[in-house]
Amino acid sequence: MNHHFDLSAKVGGLQLQGKAEFGNEIIVVSGENGAGKTSLLRCLAGLQTAQGSMMFKQEVWLDSSANYVLLSRFRGVGCVWTDPALLPWLRVEENIKVAATQVDELWCKPWFEAFEIQALMQRKPHMLSTGEAQRVALVRAICSKPKLLLLDEPFSAQAPAIRQRLRLALQDVQRKLDIPVIMISHDAEDAGYLAQQHWHMRQGRLLSEKTNVSRNKVVSV
């Protein structure tokens, strides 16, 4: 296991508590609304203040005992939240470009196709459906080659027909970058096809359980 954290945080009225070890794998997080899933991901991204410790590979991201926090900006995480946060005055293409400190076209291009946004490149965000905007936000995060991908229900607005193709593409991203992907999902199929580790949250507490799903279970459709 390459990475671990032991965190606590107070978010609104919720006391968040979580401890886990994970490797470069896909982790699916489930739990009821308000259980703290998004807050946990925000802690990992460094957008939410937390206490405790967090190590990513050999890098310290958080060590409260030494009063040390690595700022989000230097963590290299790719995030997709339920709000896609696309800049309304920029076309899809520019939105992706602007959000990357450097763009490796060779790396980015194939994902435009894999996540089915190549036809949307010239559109402004107000011309996108929720599902399309979600996919653009996902590709934007992938393009900057993140060290960790945090996804908050990334497929929630996708039509069932496209979901399986997106799952395959996401798996491909995870393999090629060899990074952990932590993904919140209420969809049992996401968990079934993708999860190599499964986290469950209840009332702010993280309960981790290993699943024995091999990554080969996803088959092309």
Partner 1 sequence: MFEALFISLELAIVTTAILLVLAFPLAYVLSFKTFKGRTILEVIVALPLVLPPTVLGYFVLVMIAPDTSLGRAWQAVFDSSLAFSFSGMVMASVLYSLPFAVQPMQQSLRAIPSSWLEMANTQGLDLWQTLKHIILPAAKGGVLVAAALSFAHTMGEFGVVLMVGGSIPGETKVASIALFEFVEMQQQSDAWLLALILLAVSFVMLSLVYTLNRHGPMLGVNK
Q: Return residues touching partner 1 (CB under 8 A).
A: 45-47, 71-79, 81, 83, 85, 87-89, 98-101, 124, 126, 140-141, 144
Q: How far is the CB of 89 from partner 1 (least distance, A)?
A: 5
Whichever of 13 and 88 has its CB closer to partner 1, that residue is 88
- Of 14, 85, 24, nearest in space to 50 by CA: 14
Q: How far is the CB of 168 from partner 1 (least distance, A)?
A: 25
Q: How far is the CB of 192 from partner 1 (least distance, A)?
A: 29
CA atoms within 13 A on the CB side of 94: 9
Q: How far is the CB of 39 from partner 1 (least distance, A)?
A: 14
Please state whether beta strands 68-69 and 181-184 pair in parallel, antiparallel, or not at all (unpaired): unpaired
CA atoms within 13 A on the CB side of 219: 2
Q: Provide the CA 12 distance to its chain's centre, in angstroms.
A: 22
Q: How far is the CB of 45 from partner 1 (least distance, A)?
A: 5
Helix (H), strand (E) counts: the chain: 6, 11
| CB contact at 8 A, 180 and 25 | yes
Q: What is the DSSP letter of 74?
A: G
Q: How far is the CB of 32 from partner 1 (least distance, A)?
A: 23
Whichever of 154 and 196 has its CB closer to partner 1, that residue is 154
Whichever of 100 and 162 has its CB closer to partner 1, that residue is 100
Whichever of 72 and 171 has its CB closer to partner 1, that residue is 72
Dihedral angle sign, alpha carbons of residues 75, 168, 153, 207: negative
* Ramachandran angles phi, psi of 52, nearest 5°: 120, -145
Whichever of 62 and 79 has its CB closer to partner 1, that residue is 79
Whichever of 72 and 208 has its CB closer to partner 1, that residue is 72
